[in-house]
Amino acid sequence: MEDISNSPVDLFIRLGCLQKTAQTLAYRLFEAYQGNLLPYHNLTHIEQTISFAQRWAHLVEHIDLVFLALWFHDIVYDPQKTDNEERSAQLLIEWLRPTPIDADMLKQAAALIMATKHHHPQNAAEGLTVDADLAILGMPADHYRLYAQAIRQEYSWVPDSAYQIGRRDVLKRFLDRSRLYFHDPIATQLETTARKNLLWELTHLEQLSQPGRY
């Protein structure tokens, strides 16, 4: 299968936008991500999820739908809010409604963004979107530990004891799942490493929470 360009300009052009419109939209995307100053949910994360999705493009019928969702899925990200996915999906609709991009595709892309909220995909496109978002969990240990540190930095306003409780709960929910990845070949490649990484972080946080650790 021939690689499809995953750049936002090429994506918007493939979806029907004129080049000038595509360039303007891409500029707005980059500006939004570069302006959030977050250690993890930033442009690097977005580009990594899209590169991951490109490698597994054969698993879905319309890879451009997945690309579109991934470019927008964290465009609104405030660690102190719980409606980031809803606001990101809404921003996608608001930005792209005036363009020639099919309205039904915008609704589908918004739904893919919402699938990243709870990570329980129901179809192949949602599955690849979520698998890309969670790919970091299955990366080598040194990459994962940098990710864990970056997430802690994003929640620096939370006291250590509260963060450890909340983060441990998140990790346990992931570990309690029968599987972390929707697509079989992705699960085959990443599942075992992801569970080792999650268990490492959980054990690390439990050790930190013991009396006398501070």
The predicted structure's pLDDT at residue 214 = 47
Tell me which residue of 102, 85, 95 sits closest to 29, measured CA to CA: 95
Say if residues 119 and 130 touch (Cβ distance below 8 Å): yes
The pTM score is: 0.95
- Residue-by-residue pLDDT tens, the chain, 214 positions: 456 778 999 999 999 999 999 999 999 999 999 988 999 999 999 999 999 999 999 999 999 999 999 999 999 999 999 999 999 999 999 999 999 999 999 999 999 999 999 999 999 999 999 999 999 999 999 999 999 999 999 999 999 999 999 999 999 999 999 999 999 999 999 999 999 999 999 999 999 887 655 4
Tell me the C-alpha distance between 119 and 205, whole Å: 23
Tell me the C-alpha distance between 209 and 59, whole Å: 42
**Per-domain residue ranges of the chain:** 1-120, 134-214
Say if residues 66 and 112 touch (Cβ distance below 8 Å): yes
Q: What are phi and psi of 2, to 5 degrees?
A: -70, 135
Tell me which residue of 116, 34, 102 sits closest to 65, measured CA to CA: 102
The predicted structure's pLDDT at residue 213 = 53
